[in-house]
Amino acid sequence: MRNILLTPGLLLLAACTVGPDYDGPPAVNSANAEQGFVREETGTVRAEPTLARWWESLGDPVLDALEQRALAGNPDLAMAQARLAEARASLGEVRADRNPSLSAMGVAAHLRVPDIGDNGENAEADNGSDTNSSNIYNLGLNASWEVDLFGGHRRQVEAAEANIGAAEANLADAQVSLTSAIAQAYLNLRDRRERIILAEQAVEHRASLLEMERQRFEQGVVSRPSVDQAESRLASARSDLAPLRAEADSFLNALAILVGEVPGSVDGMLAQHAPVPLPPAEIAIGDPAGLLARRPDIRAAERQLAASYANLGVAKAAGLPRLSFFGILGIGGTELSDLTQLDDFTAIAAPMLQWNFLDFGRNRARVGQAEARQDAAEAQYRSTVLGALRDVEDALSSFRYRRQAVAELARAEASAARIVDHARQRYELGAASRRELLDTELAHNAATSQLSAARAALTLDFIAIEKALGLGWQADS
């Protein structure tokens, strides 16, 4: 009857799980679908954005190819994938710890024991007798199983599962960072090459103006300082080329490294000139609630918070009694043939209750550490959410005002182009000098350069929006 009552009692104890149950992350003010983002404007819609391959909206096949090469070969992604595999293997180990363990052992020993006389002294010293010796042979099986009385092991499983979720989110976050870095480097490369072309045109105009000033100086129309000024402006224009070319090479190198290859490996596919791609006319940004569910760093922080709850339960269970069962089955003797005597074996089976109740506050301190880590994880989650909201709002604001600047610079460039056309017509009619024409062309070159840089910055702002929204990863990766 005692055994019958023991089993239900153990089941009731095994159903007990200490520590707080995790019921989701804390709410963060303003992160809801009704309010939307503060800096929303015309050109953005609350439709849920496309999670993966956002860069295809730029319509640049070279960029598309670079992104695919990077997703396949980037070493940072490989590291994140390895960490995910490690987390999954760790869960397998934790789950296996719930099962009984069974081990085999074998012993073969030779013992030499001195004879002891009746007086308790070494008999060999009295009569010179030899020591006794014997052999021992033994084969056995050891089995043990710990009952999860207070749910400490179940909390370990919960923590391991949460760690897998965090590793998956970290992998997705690595994809978000990588795809945006590829797009940024590509846009910067195209921008620098465009600026190099415009700078070379400015050098040509400055060289023509210098030649004209030299001719006018020889004719006595202008003084030497006019020539010196033209030479200075030409040298200054030429000096603009070197840093632009160095930056272009740097972005080429960055793209090669990002795709997981050596510098120079992508030079061939980027040799042809191409314009800077522009963002789409309308951008889907979703809402703050969707951001919380989608952005990988928020997902990782939430999973780490869940793990901290489970680890607190593990710490609390460690200070409570532990019940385990162990058994030993062995056979052997002083002769090797005794190992075959199956009717002569030793069997031991017994429960064992352990409780380290006098640990001088050690486990209380461990629980305090776990509680502090839980508080830190909750604060980290809130910080991550607030940082993500700021990223989106900053990117939306920058995109909004950059687009206004692009519109103004486009009008300025168009006006400068009309001035050039008018000056060329007057020059062809003999009503204007070549110097006047070159001056208007230089002004148009400067306006075009400003517009080109602003358009590139606008596309970079679009990339910042997509990154802030947590786009560029695939759920099945």
Residue-range domain boundaries for the chain: 14-98+148-185+240-320+363-468, 102-122+130-147+333-354
Question: What element of type H or E holds 243?
Answer: helix 241-258
Q: Which CATH number fits domain 14-98+148-185+240-320+363-468: 1.20.120.420, 1.10.10.60, 1.20.1600.10, 3.40.50.300?
A: 1.20.1600.10
pLDDT, residue 338, reads 64
State the DSSP code for 277: P
pLDDT, residue 350, reads 85
- 344 CB-contact burial (10 Å; exposed 0-12 / middle 13-18 / buried 19+): exposed
Q: Whole-angstrom distance between the N-terminal and C-terminal Cα of the chain?
A: 56
Question: Which residue in the block uniquely carries the two structure tokens 């956002």?
Answer: 54
What is the Cα–Cα distance from 213 to 219, expressed in whole angstroms? 10
Residue 103, Ramachandran bin (φ over 0: left; ψ between -120 and 50: alpha; else beta): beta
Closest CA to 441 of 425, 411, 420, 426: 420
pLDDT, residue 242, reads 96
What is the Cα–Cα distance from 36 to 258, expressed in whole angstroms? 34
pLDDT, residue 214, reads 92
What does pTM read for this prediction? Answer: 0.85
Contact partners, residue 134, CB within 8 Å, separation at least 6: 110, 111, 113, 334
H-state helical runs in 15-142? 61-73, 75-96, 123-127
Question: Which residue in the block uniquely carries the two structure tokens 């191409």?
Answer: 274
What is the Cα–Cα distance from 93 to 97, expressed in whole angstroms? 6
Q: Give the chain's residues under pLDDT 70.
A: 1-15, 29-34, 42-43, 113-131, 333-339, 342, 476-477
pLDDT, residue 374, reads 96
pLDDT, residue 133, reads 77
Q: Are 439 and 174 in contact (CB under 8 A)?
A: no
What is the Cα–Cα distance from 54 to 472, expressed in whole angstroms? 6
Q: What does the block give as tokens for 443? A: 């002004």
pLDDT, residue 7, reads 47
Q: What does the block give as tokens for 372? A: 């502090």
What is the Cα–Cα distance from 450 to 455, expressed in whole angstroms? 9
Q: Are 240 and 196 in contact (CB under 8 A)?
A: no
Beta-bridged to residue 138, according to DSSP, are 107, 332
User: Angle, to 10 degrees, between the axis of helix 224-239 and the axis of helix 241-258?
Assistant: 0
Q: What angle do CA 96, 102, 104 make, to 5 degrees?
A: 140
Q: Is the dihedral of CA 118, 121, 126, 132 positive or negative?
A: positive
Phi, psi of 325 (to 5 degrees): -120, 140
Residue 305 half-sphere exposure toward CB, CA atoms < 13 A: 22
Residue 43 half-sphere exposure toward CB, CA atoms < 13 A: 15
